[in-house]
Every structure is written in C-alpha cells, then in structure tokens.
Amino acid sequence: MKSLQELENLKLQSQKLVNLRLGDRQNSPHKHHVLICQGTGCVSAKATVIEEAFHEHLAKHNLTEDVVVARTGCFGICEAGPVVIVYPEGAFYSHVTPEDAERITKNHLVEGNVVTDLLLEGSSVGDKIIPINEIPFYKKQKRVSLALCGLINPENILEYIAFDGYKALAKAVLEMSPKAIIDEIKESGIRGRGGGGFSTGRKWEFTMNTQADQKYIVCNGDEGDPGAFMDRSILEGDPHAIIEAMAIAGYAVGANQGYVYVRAEYPIATNRLQIAIDQAKDFGLLGKNIFESDFNFDLEIRLGAGAFVCGEETALLNSIEGQRGMPNPRPPYPAVEGLWGKPTVINNVETFSNIPQIILNGAKWFSDMGTEGSNGTKVFALGGKIKNTGLIEVPMGITLREVIFDVGGGIPNGKKFKAVQTGGPSGGCLTEEHLDTPIDFDNLTRLGAMMGSGGMIVMDEDNCMVDIAKFFLEFTVDESCGKCAPCRVGTKKMLNILNRITSGTSEMAELDRLEELAKNIKISSLCGLGQTAPNPVLSTLKNFREEYEAHVKDNKCPSGVCKDLLNYFILDTCIGCTLCTRHCPVNAITGEKKEVHHIDTKTCIKCNVCVEKCKFNAIEVR
Amino acid sequence: MRGKTAMKTVNLTIDDLPVQVDENMTVLEAALQVGIDIPTLCFLKGVCEVGDCRICVVEVDGFDNLKSACVFPVSEGMVVKTHTKKVRLSRKSTMELILATHSKECLTCCRSTNCELQTLAEELGITELYYSDESPEEVTYDDKSNSIIRDQSKCILCARCAHVCSKTQGTGILGFVGRGVKTRVTTAFDKSLADTPCLFCGQCVVSCPVGAISEKVDIDKVWDVLEDPDIHVVVQTAPAVRSALGEEFGLPFGTNVQGKMVAALKRLGFNKVYDTSFGADLTIMEEGHELLDRLNNDGVLPMITSCSPGWVRYCEHYYPEFIPNLSSCKSPHQMVGAVLKSYYAEKNNIDPAKIFVVSVMPCTSKKDEAARPELSVNGLQDVDCVITTRELAKMIRIGRIDFDMLEDAEFDRDLLGEYTGAGISFGATGGVMEASLRTVADIMESKELRDIDYTQVRGMSDIKEATLVLGGRIFRVAVVHGTAAAGRLLDLIKSGVTTYDFIEVMGCSGGCVAGGGQPHVTAKEKMKLDIREARANVLREVDNSKDYRKSHQNPQVQKLYTDYLGKPNSQKAHELLHTHYTAKEKFPLE
C-alpha cells in the first residue's frame, strides 16, 4: 500500500462486496448475502455445519453465483444463536439449525419469501421485517467497538477496507504528527476498557516522552472474567481494527513492534487475528515503510495459558517474556519500563477497537458520547438471570435499568430482580436502589462495584447472595498467582469463613472478622487481583447483610440455595403413593402405602429427587 | 537503588520527619536514614526487591491502598506514614496469614532463636493465631543431596531463595509452581536438589529467613570420631571461617576470632588443628606452574581457577565447553586432605586409614565436593567430613564452651602449620588472583617483586579486570564472583568480545567470606552493612600482618616439595593434588 489514493481506490472496488448489506441493491453483483454468525458461541452450536449446509443447498439450486455466504463475528444476541441474517432484507433468523438451511434457501433465496417462523422474536411485525437497529435488543445500543462485528467477514481485509478500514492509519501516518495523534486521543477522553479506566492518551504520552532505543505496543486480550467475552468477540469479528489501532499507537509513541496477547482458549479469535495480520502484511499495511513513510510496524501473537492474573499488565508482560505470569509492583509503570524493560503501551482489545474511529471522526465525535469523565460507549457481556444473554454495546451514562430491562429483556420466568454484579470477580453486587444510576467508571466505583472489563451478571430472587460471593471468591482463590500473602492466603481464609457461613457452622463475630480481613486484603495486596478480590464479599455484606445474618443466626438460607442449611419435609398433602420412597437413593423416606410419608433428615442427602418425583407438591424444602 | 549517575535529591516527610534523600531511593531506604525501622520480610538488599510479602507496607498520601516501602520510590513532597493504625493492622493481619501456612515446629527448628519470621512475629505483636493451618497438601522434605535440606512445610514463599538462585547464581533451580494457596517454591518437576544442576552453593540457605532451606548437619559424624581413640582426627579451617564465626557468639561483624576458634577446636578434642591456608599456598604452587606451563606451551587459555566447588559444578553443568580451561588442581582443603593421608601419615607413621580429616568450611558445596569419588587417593577420600562455620558454632555450643572466655590458641605448627598472606587471601573475591600473581609475577619477572598489592582485583564489583606486563608479555586477568556474573563473562569470551590469560571464579558473591555455610545475617543487617566487605577486611589484615606474603615463600610448602613431592606439577604432585572434571547434563533423562 503506497498512498491514501491507492487505499481509496481499493475501498471503491471493495464496496460492491458489502453494498447489499447496506440496502444498496443496484451496486451489488449478488442477489443475496447470507451472513452466518461464527463467533465462538454460534460455532459451538454448529454454525460451521450450517454454513456447509447453505453451500450444499445453494449449489443444488444453482445459486452459488448469486448468493454470497459470509461468516461474520458475533451479532451479540447469543441467546438467539445460531444466528443467520439474510440481506438485502435484513431477515434476522434465530436458533437456526443445519436443517433450516434448506428451507431458508428454498423459500427465501429461491422464491423470495422470508421464513417468518424462523425470524427472531420482535424482528418482524406480521410479514414486515423491522430494520435491525429497531429491534428492541439493538434499539438502545450504540455500536462503535462492535460496529463491524456481524457486518463484515473478518477473514477478508477488503470488506474491512470497504468500511474505511486502514483509512485512520493512513491519515495518522501521512497527515498527523505523533503529538497530534496523542492530543486527539487525550481530547477524546477515552479511558482504558480493561478494568483500570486510566486515560489512554496519557498512557501513550508517557511512552512517547520516554527516550528509548526500542518501544513496544501490547494488546491485552487476556480476557479472564467468568462470562465476559467482549475482547474475544471483537477479535473474532473485527480483527483488523485492532491491527490498525496498534499500528497507529506504534506510530504515535515510536514503537515498531507489537504483540497481541490472547488466551490459547480462544482458537477462533487467534486464527482470525493471524489471518488478518497476514493479510495486512500482504497489503503492506504492516511491515516496512507503511504508506511509503519511514514508519515500520510489525505484529505478532503471543498465546497465554489462561491464568486470570495475566490480565494484569505487568504479569502479562512477564508472560510474554517467557516468565511465570506474576505481577510486579508499580512504579515503574510499563509506559516507562515495560516489556524487556522498554517503554510499552499496553491497552485492552476494546480500547484499541475505538482508536481508528476516533482518528477518523475526531475527538469531539467520541467525547460527545457518554458522560462527563466517561466518554464513548462500553461493551457489556450480559449473563445470569436475564432474557437476552449476549454482548451489547451501550453509550456510557445509560442506566442499569435500561440495560437490564430494555436491552436485556428483563428477568425470565416472571422472577423478581435481586442484584446485578458488574466487573466480574473484581466487581460488586448492586441492588434495586442502584438501577437508575447512570453507568460510568466513577459511578460504579463509588457504589462499591466497578466497570471492570464489562461483565454484567444478573441475579434474581432465587439467588443466594452469600453463595454468589462464594462463587466469585472461589474463582479468585484459584486464580491468585500466589505471590503476595494477603491474596494467596487471605482469600482462602475468606472462603473458609464463607463456607462455614453457608454450612451453618459460623458465628456472628466471624462476620466482622470477614469484613476486616476483606478490607485488609484490599489495601495491602500487591496487584489489582488481590486489591479487588474482596469486592463481591464486601458489596454483598453491605447490601445484603441480612442474608448473611440469616445464615449465621437462624441457620437458614432465605433463597433456599445453601444445601447444608436446607431440610426436606413431607406435608400432610402426601397421599402415600410411595413414588418418592422408590426413588430415594439413600432410603431416607419411610411410610405405609396411602399414608403420609416421612423423611429422616439425618439420612437425607438433599439430592432433590423426591421433590422432582412427587406429583402432589407434597415435599417442602425449608 | 536504581543505577543512575546524576544524583538529585528530593524532600519528603516520613512520620512528620523531614527527609532529604537521593531521588533514586526507596521509601525503606529513606526511612532508614532518619532512624525509622520499617519491618521487612521478603526484602533482601540487591537480591530480592519485589514487594511480595506486604509486611513493609506504609501509607503514602494520595493512595487508598498501602505501598510496599521496599520498592516504592521516593518523590518530591511525598508524605509517608509508617505506623498508623491502618498500617499496623494490615501488617498484623498479613503476618497472621503468613503464619497460617507456616509449620509451628519452632522448638525443634534449625533456625530456632535465629529466625527472621519468629522475630518479626514478636515485633508485630502477634499473640494468638486465629487461622487454622493452610499448608499445601503435599509438602516436600528433601534431604537427598550431600549439602542442602529443603523443608517445604516451613517455606513462607518470600522468594528470596529463588531470586538469589536465578539472579546472583544464574541457575534458577528454585522457582514458583502452582497457583493460589497451592503455590510452592520448588525445583523443576519437583526433583530432589541432588538430581538438579544445583551448585549446592547454599546462597539459598543464607538467604532464607526461616528454616525452609538449611545445610545438612554432619556434626554427629565428628562427635563420633572424636570419641574414638583409634582415630586420629585432624581438623582444618578455611580462611573465611575466622572472619565470621564470632558473629555466632554475638561479636561484631569483621571480628577475627582465629585464636578463640583454634582454642575451641582443641577443647573439642581434635588431635591436630591446621589452617587450610597452607593448602592454598600449595594450590598456588601447583596452579601457578600449571598456568606457566599453559602459557609457555600453547595450552588452553584462559585458565580458570577450580577451588570453588559451586563454580566447578556450574562449569560442568552450564558451560562444559570450558572444562579444558579449568585448572586441574584440587581445591585447597582437598589438597590438605591428600597431603595429610600421605606425607603427614608417613612422617608421623600413622595408618592413613586411621586419619579422619574434618574441614570446617564457609561453604555447603564443599560437603558435596568432598564426596566426589575422584577426590581420593588409594581408595581413601581426601576429606572425610565437611562442616560449615554454622555447624562448628553449634558444636561449640553443644560442647558448652564459653567462646568469649577462651584464651587465644595457635594452629599446630608442624608439617602443614605455616601459611602466608597469599594463602589466607583465598577467602575473598580477588584473593586467589592476587596470591597467584604474587608467585607467577616473580617467576615471569625472574625476581622477588616488592610491590605485591594488586588492588585492581579487590573490591565487590562482580567482574574485575586487570592488564599487566610480566616478563615482557601482556598478561590479562579477570576476577568474577557469583556464578551469574561468571556466566556473563564466559558468554563474552565465547562471543570473542574479550579474552584473558587467567580468570578467578568464586561461586558466591564476595567469595568464601559470604559462602553458604557462613553464619546467618538478617536482611536488616545486610541492608546496613556490606558483610562481604567486613569479613574480607579480616583476611586483608591478616595478609598485611604476615612476614611471608607469597605462597612460594612458605617454608613448609618448600619442605613438602623437597622432602616428598619433588617439584610443582611432578608426577607425585599430580597423583595427590590434581583432579579431572566431567561434563554433566542438567536434567538427564531417566
């Protein structure tokens, strides 16, 4: 790639590849585009088989010339997967099976009749297809990081170029000084999306201002929060955006080498990213003298072995160096002394994905979105007791209520909302009273939760909050790197106390000790993992202390989750059918035929089989 | 402290005291300057500066969380508080957590009364242990090697051992394995140290604040022979022992206790007490002539010293291509052993099999060295038992000898009783080189030189070089201590960047005075004083006070040659005083 002109020409040529998806039927050589989501979720639900099925049926109907089948990244609404969208209509098919490919091909692609019974609920009114951004799930979303996820084939650089791909890099290298780029990034106000929320522009500035013979750009793709998959989806759906952003960062700070650190558990993301890197090299967008300038930039993937702590930047850098992934105290910060002791910019995948658009559209475009102090959008992974589990991107400042009830579709099965955990195992639980708080970095931190990387797990009335705290703590206990004592031993001691609470062997004084220990781990741990690991316990202690007390004082789990505190009883409504007796694996139930039965609670192992078998709801758990 | 040259100062306050210090200092160092003693546990100056243990935490204005003083840099206007309630509670809580994973067998521990953790627990006011034990499910107790015992139940994961092993020794035998509360410090594949390329240098032992790594104690063997009337027990003490033994009995660092040490050994009942410095003089004769032979006959150069068994193991495992460069000389105490069981036995008409040679060494690797099968003559090991300086102190205590009250005594003077200032210099870095030069230079210049203080090779920088002109020929030497630095130097030689005629390598940083068998010194004391210097000065003073300061002047060494060995590097000398080395695989396949 030699010039901006050459890139523009390539864009014009490539647009015909994607015009149909933008509703432009005239300038497209094809009649239909079939976009099949091939994010990890849909792939594990047979999306690749669906793709093969489409090819097979299109061949049968001689449509291979007229119809393009493209694999894309995640559409976000994983709950509805596997997802297939057919353009130009924008027909949004959900829960597609390989068998459905035949019907869609025959009815829709051959005969022109949308298969309405396969459409996503709410994506059509009668026979009329609603534009995708009008579907309730998408209506309140603002897709910047995910803009091209689900719209382009990530394995084809031309489709990225058709949507102004690499234009920001051209602009940066050909028209902007490094300082101008950093000023633009600073002015946009973008803060790190990986958890810390530090100003990206200032990070870059530190690195730019540090003199060194070698500098590095590192992309942190070591996404580790349980249930979070925003980085994975961006890498799977729009890998070129990351490559472009890292090259821009390299130009801005004076680095000629970048590393993308991705967990080995993300094979699809790694594969697509490698394809994208190879293509970028073929097109001269990586390598020597990019756009015939003096700027050289190369990129390599480094695979992580899946330790949660490697998401901490100094641990990640140690891991790239081939050391055990353990954090170092800061300062020195990586921006000054990072990879192999050299100044290193390290940003998260989602952060990078915003950069090209900030350069193209300007800082103001970005800072106009969001709230004071938290500009732009944020990607969240919705999970738990919520209807639309999946990936969403919303402007900062949207309320938790809007996210959970409008975008997320609310709580399934008519249950009542109880709490939402933001920030994964490092975050905290928020309650009903916080639902109308605008989401941004500072608000969440003030409430004792955190933005984290964007995990959002919803709990309903059936969830026991002590159990939830235990779940997150078990994770951090396992994932502590073992370096510093407060985290290594302290989190385990907290877990031991929680186990005593949920098994009815604790005492009230221990709640205070738990809180004291949690607070000390928070202030004295070496890295972010330990400093935030107590958050789920502290926030539930604060917001749901009565649940803890019920466990300790009354030996009761109000939500009926903690098995050790539950007992099974047979009510007088028992008709003596003996079904439960026959299925009880430990013979804990006795009773004569046609008489009320009895459970020996000492023998009972609380396996719940009797409840499931009883046809008369005669067994009570309390 | 980071290695920057331009010194700029900053002003800060610590506990309301104004402090002005170098901008490269840490809060810990700054506090020390105004007499504020911040407690530490994992910190070990120059070795382990990682902020792991979270004991040295302090409050720094502007931060919610506490900062570890040992790594947190000072800055202008910084306000530090070191003993607020928040800090005290944090330290106490963290200490309770550390103790929860630590074996409570304090009464029977090798570090009882000498344990940094025990002291710290008392200083932090720990009076009860709330948390139950949380030791890893499987703990290793490894006593297979000849030198070192690892007891994982006592390990507190401070990582001092791992850092000294990789950073100073360049070996990385010990490292972290596992995650969370299952994290352990161990070897690759959990092998016994005996089956790893460990040097047995014992730097991990002297770095460990607790009893998780210790020397293998061999004093029972010594007690047994001392009570056996049929056995003639000869003890020899290495130069460095006298420079540190006093520390075990409360004497200040850098006290020469040679006289009391000899008196104690005689009280303990050894038949003869000699100084290994005699062996050092003998080594110079053999090694010096070996060097001259290599220089004159196109032998393999640079020649490298071989008196440090840790270094020899390092060479055999990590740089076997340099084995031909190693001097074939046995180390001084092995030479003494060989001479005792031949020349001495003959002169005194004692059956060599009835002679039991005990070496008191500042070194744990010497235990392994003494067991090498090639270090024997006529089927008898040159040295029968090696005990460390610490073990000798233990024997003196068990023997209920009041060390302070001892009248100074002299080494036995017969046969192996003389030593020179050159010989005693072997105990510190640069000493072997200086001793060699004093003899080699005289021979090459064919005269008795008067200016014999080779100050270029003294001091504690890890690689030292000197270029001399001797006998009209340019003669380049290097001195290196700590095997990591040795590795760096060998890499430079391999890549052709530099070359030398003669190199002294000592496995431990500072040389034998700071060997792995020397008395334990707390991290706090190491922060205040370079104990390597303090101990090395003892040897320097002895050297300066000697009439004979060149090994070839030693009259008893001369007599040994005239009466028994012939001349240096003679066939007899080779049989008794030289050895060979073998390339060894680091982790051979089983």
Report how far Cα A19 is from the mean position of its chain's Cα atoms: 29
Q: Do the chains contact at B68 and A526, CB–CB below 8 Å?
A: yes
A85, A111, A139 - which closes a domain: A139
> pLDDT by residue (tens digit) across A323-358?
999 999 999 999 999 999 999 999 999 999 999 999
> pLDDT by residue (tens digit) across B444-479?
999 999 888 899 999 999 999 999 999 899 999 999
Q: Number of folded domains in chain A?
A: 5
- Asked if residue A392 and residue A254 are part of one domain, the reply reads no
> pLDDT by residue (tens digit) across B483-510?
999 999 999 999 999 999 999 999 999 9
- Asked if residue A224 and residue A358 are part of one domain, the reply reads yes
CB nearest to A493's CB, from B68, B97, B178: B97
> pLDDT by residue (tens digit) across A398-440?
999 999 999 999 999 999 999 999 988 889 999 999 999 999 9
- Asked if residue A443 and residue A479 are part of one domain, the reply reads no
Interface test with A, best of B92, B96, B97 (most A CBs within 10 A): B97
CB nearest to A331's CB, from B73, B134, B159: B73
For residue A558, being part of any structural domain is answered with: no
> pLDDT by residue (tens digit) across A50-66?
999 999 999 999 999 99
- Asked if residue A452 and residue A473 are part of one domain, the reply reads no
- A614: domain CATH number is 3.30.70.20
Is cis: bond before A88, omega within 30 of 0?
yes
For residue B4, being part of any structural domain is answered with: no
Torsion B82-B87-B92-B94 (CA) sign: negative
CA geometry: angle at A475 spanning A469 and A477, to 5°? Answer: 95
- B137: domain CATH number is 3.30.70.20
What are the chain A neighbours of B68 within 8 Å (beta carbons)? 329, 526
- B71: domain CATH number is 3.10.20.740
Cβ-based contacts under 8 A for chains A and B: 106
- Asked if residue B542 and residue B409 are part of one domain, the reply reads yes
For residue A382, being part of any structural domain is answered with: yes
CA geometry: angle at A109 spanning A106 and A114, to 5°? Answer: 85
- Asked if residue A586 and residue A521 are part of one domain, the reply reads no
Q: How far is CA A305 from CA A272, A320, A453, A481, B426, in A?
A: 19, 11, 19, 13, 48
A367, A384, A408 - which closes a domain: A367
Q: What is the pLDDT of residue B5?
A: 54
Give the range of the structural domain holding residue A597, as residue numbers without chain letter: 567-621
Distance between start and end Cα atoms, chain B: 44
Q: Do the chains contact at B157 and A482, CB–CB below 8 Å?
A: yes
Predicted ipTM of the assembly: 0.91
For residue A452, being part of any structural domain is answered with: yes
- Tokens 């106009």 appear where? A368
Q: Which of B136, B175, B165, B129 is nearest to B153 (CA)?
A: B136
Question: What token pair was written down for A81?
Answer: 């997967």
- A396: domain CATH number is 3.10.20.600
> pLDDT by residue (tens digit) across B222-279?
999 999 999 999 999 999 999 999 999 999 999 999 999 999 999 999 999 999 999 9
For residue B192, being part of any structural domain is answered with: yes
Interface test with B, best of A308, A489, A506 (most B CBs within 10 A): A489
Q: Decide if A341 touches B, using CB distance below 8 A.
A: no
For residue B573, being part of any structural domain is answered with: yes
For residue B242, being part of any structural domain is answered with: yes
pTM: 0.92
CB contact at 8 A, B492 and B214: no
What residue in B sits closest to A510 (Cα-Cα)? B130
What are the chain B neighbours of A529 within 8 Å (beta carbons)? none
- Asked if residue B105 and residue B83 are part of one domain, the reply reads no
CB nearest to A482's CB, from B51, B65, B178: B178
Q: What is the pLDDT of residue B4?
A: 47
- Asked if residue B405 and residue B257 are part of one domain, the reply reads yes
Q: What is the DSSP string of A455-493?
A: EEEEEETT--HHHHHHHHHHHHHHH--S-SHIIIIIHHH
Q: Decide if A490 touches B, using CB distance below 8 A.
A: yes
DSSP state of B304: E
- A326: domain CATH number is 3.40.50.11540
Q: Calculate how close chain A gets to B70, using CA atoms only, in Å.
A: 10
Give the range of the structural domain holding residue B191, as residue numbers without chain letter: 101-215
Q: Do the chains contact at A489 and B181, CB–CB below 8 Å?
A: yes
Q: Decide if A493 touches B, using CB distance below 8 A.
A: yes
For residue B588, being part of any structural domain is answered with: no
DSSP strand E in B122-218: where? 141-142, 148-151, 175-177, 184-186, 213-215
- Asked if residue A356 and residue A235 are part of one domain, the reply reads yes
Single-letter amino acid, residue B227: E
Q: Do the chains contact at A492 and B180, CB–CB below 8 Å?
A: yes
- B521: domain CATH number is 3.40.50.1780
Give the residue-averaged pLDDT of A576-598: 93
A367, A388, A419 - which closes a domain: A367
- Asked if residue B425 and residue B538 are part of one domain, the reply reads yes
DSSP strand E in A275-362: where? 298-304, 344-348
- Asked if residue B367 and residue B302 are part of one domain, the reply reads yes
Which residues of B are part of the catalytic machinery?
287, 290, 307, 327, 366, 369, 374, 512
- Tokens 């690991």 appear where? A533
pLDDT band at A196 (very low <50, low <70, confident <90, very high): confident
Mean pLDDT over the full length of chain A: 94
Q: What is the pLDDT of residue B2?
A: 45
